[in-house]
C-alpha cells in the first residue's frame, strides 16, 4: 500500500527528497539496509548471515572471471537512484562498466548491465516482489535473483510495457548446481551456500 496518496509529481518529488535526507541523517546509526520505493522506505534488518555475504562474494568472483576487463561486478557503494521516479535501490551486485562508475553521486540505473540480488532471509519479498517491479521501471535490462533459502533462482529480461508499467517479459528459473546466464556470461551455481534450516527437528516418538 502506498504511504502517500495526493498523486502530484511535485509533492511526490518533495517527499522523495525528504526520505532521502532522512536516511542520510540516520547514516550508520541504525542496522540494516535502507532503500526508497514508490511505496516508501524499505528497511531490511539484514542480521549478519555469512551465507548471504559469501554468496555475493562467489557471484562477484565468478562473473569477473568471465567478463571483459572493462566490466566489473561491483558490490559496494553508491546506491542506484532514479530521482524522477522516486526510487533508490542498492543491488547486492551491479554489473557495470568501470567508465560508468566515474564521477560523484549515485549510479544512473540505465548504465547497469545487470543487477543481482541474493534473497534476504529477513525480507524475501523485497527481492522477489519489490525489486522485480522497480528494476524494469529503472531500465535495468537484466535482473538475477539467487535464493539461498531454497537453492533456486531466476533471471528476468526483456523489459516491455504493461498496464501496470514496465515489467520483465521473460523469466528463466534455475536450480543451484545448474549454469546460469546473466546478460552475456554463463557462470556455475554449484557450491553456492544455502541458509541453514531454522526449523527444529521433530521427534518420531
pLDDT in tens, 161-205: 999 999 999 999 999 999 999 999 999 999 999 998 765 454 444
Report the chain's terminal Cα–Cα distance, integer Å.
Answer: 46
What is the reported pLDDT for 9?
A: 56
Percent of the chain with pLDDT strictly greater than 90: 59
Position 10 pLDDT exceeds 80: no
Q: What is the dihedral of CA 17, 37, 164, 123, to 10 degrees?
A: -170
What is the reported pLDDT for 22?
A: 72
Across the chain, what does the average pLDDT equal? 85
pLDDT in tens, 90-119: 999 999 999 999 988 889 999 999 999 999
88 Cβ contact partners less than 8 Å away, ≥ 6 residues apart: 20, 35, 36, 79, 80, 81, 82, 106
Spatial distance between the Cα atoms of 151 and 195, rounded to a whole number of angstroms: 9
Position 2 pLDDT exceeds 50: no
What is the reported pLDDT for 38?
A: 72
Angle, CA of 131, 63 and 107, to the nearest 5°: 50
CB atoms inside a 10 Å sphere around CB 130:
17
What is the reported pLDDT for 147?
A: 97
Q: Output the pTM of the full model.
A: 0.81
**Sign of the C-alpha dihedral, residues 79, 52, 157, 164?**
negative
Position 45 pLDDT exceeds 70: no
Spatial distance between the Cα atoms of 69 and 58, rounded to a whole number of angstroms: 18
What is the reported pLDDT for 5?
A: 40
Per-residue pLDDT averaged across 38-51, rounded? 69
Do residues 18 and 41 make contact, with C-beta atoms less than 8 angstroms apart?
A: no
Spatial distance between the Cα atoms of 154 and 101, rounded to a whole number of angstroms: 26
Per-residue pLDDT averaged across 5-17, rounded? 62
Buried b (16+ CB within 10 A) or exposed e, 19-54: bbeebeeeeeeeeebbbbbbeeebbbeeeebebbee
pLDDT in tens, 128-153: 999 999 999 999 999 999 999 999 99
Mind listing the domains of the chain with CATH numbers? 47-188 (3.90.1570.10)
What is the reported pLDDT for 88?
A: 84
Amino acid at each position: 500500500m502506498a504511504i502517500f496518496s495526493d498523486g502530484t509529481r511535485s509533492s511526490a518529488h518533495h517527499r522523495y527528497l525528504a526520505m532521502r535526507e532522512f536516511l542520510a541523517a540516520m547514516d550508520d546509526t541504525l542496522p540494516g539496509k535502507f532503500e526508497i520505493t514508490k511505496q516508501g522506505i524499505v528497511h531490511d534488518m539484514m542480521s549478519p548471515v555469512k551465507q548471504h555475504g559469501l554468496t555475493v562474494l562467489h557471484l562477484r568472483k565468478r562473473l569477473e572471471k568471465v567478463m571483459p576487463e572493462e566490466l566489473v561486478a561491483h558490490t559496494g557503494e553508491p546506491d542506484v537512484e532514479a530521482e524522477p521516479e522516486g526510487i533508490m535501490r542498492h543491488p547486492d551486485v551491479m554489473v557495470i562498466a568501470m567508465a560508468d562508475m566515474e564521477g560523484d553521486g549515485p549510479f544512473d540505473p540505465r548504465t547497469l548491465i545487470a543487477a543481482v540480488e541474493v534473497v534476504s532471509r529477513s525480507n524475501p519479498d523485497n527481492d522477489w516482489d519489490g525489486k522485480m517491479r522497480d528494476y524494469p521501471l529503472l531500465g535495468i535490462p537484466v535482473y538475477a535473483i539467487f535464493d539461498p533459502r531454497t537453492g533456486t533462482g531466476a533471471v528476468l529480461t526483456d523489459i516491455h510495457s504493461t498496464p501496470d508499467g514496465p515489467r520483465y517479459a521473460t523469466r528463466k528459473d534455475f536450480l543451484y548446481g545448474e549454469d546460469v546466464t546473466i546478460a552475456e556470461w554463463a557462470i556455475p551455481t554449484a557450491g553456492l551456500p544455502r541458509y541453514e534450516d531454522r526449523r527444529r527437528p521433530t521427534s518420531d516418538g
